[in-house]
Amino acid sequence: MRGTVLDYDPRNGEGLISGDDNNRYTFKGTSVRSDFSSLKKGAKVDFDQSNGEALSIFVMPDPPMGGINIEISASGEKSKVVAGLLAFFLGGFGIHKFYLGYNKAGIVMLLVTMFGFIFFGIPGAVIWLIAFIEGIIYISKSDQDFYETYVAHQKEWF
């Protein structure tokens, strides 16, 4: 279920959410499964409910302001399968990094692969190995772990 945070008091770790079903749900800070810094009044959240209490709360990211937002998937979230396949087949060129929005890391991978021949191709081979390992990591994570690690918290490497 989705809703909006009406109040959260970090001193006692309790808060109140207005659900999209027009009901109110209390919650405890221990039920928050994402970054606490995003948990504030007006934040959009996704949660499970049981007996009037919100559980497994995830703060939803704010939509980008201005500009054009081009997303690959219909829901606007990055797919771990797409990222993993890009890492397996085009990873040495950093394509999976560009897909996830890590342009600096993608450029580093691309340049090392392109100019690694100076050192007999060894740096390029290492980059391809790193990309292959990242592809395995992406696909082996649950959808929720992948989202939290690589989309919400933007962990660029491994």
pLDDT digits (tens, 9 = 90+) for 116-130: 878 888 998 999 999
Query: How large is the average pLDDT for residues 87-101?
Result: 92
Q: Is the pLDDT of residue 76 over 60?
A: no
Q: Spelled out in words, what is the top-level CATH class assigned to the domain 2-59?
A: mainly beta
**Phi and psi, residue 3, nearest 5°:** -170, -170
Write down the pTM of the prediction: 0.52
User: Domain ranges in the chain?
Assistant: 2-59, 80-152
CB 20 within 8 A of CB 1: yes
Which residue in 89, 91, 158, 98 sits closest to 124, CA to CA? 91
Residue 110 neighbours by CB distance under 10 Å: 17
Mean pLDDT, the chain, rounded, equals 84
Residue 132: which H helix or E strand, with range? helix 122-140
- Quote the pLDDT of residue 30: 83
Please tell me whether residue 9 adopts helix, strand or coil conformation. Answer: strand
The band of 70, judged by pLDDT with boundaries at 50, 70 and 90, is very low
What letter represents residue 34's amino acid?
A: S
pLDDT at res. 63: 58
State residue 75's pLDDT score: 47
Q: Look at residue 149 in the predicted model and tell me its pLDDT.
A: 85
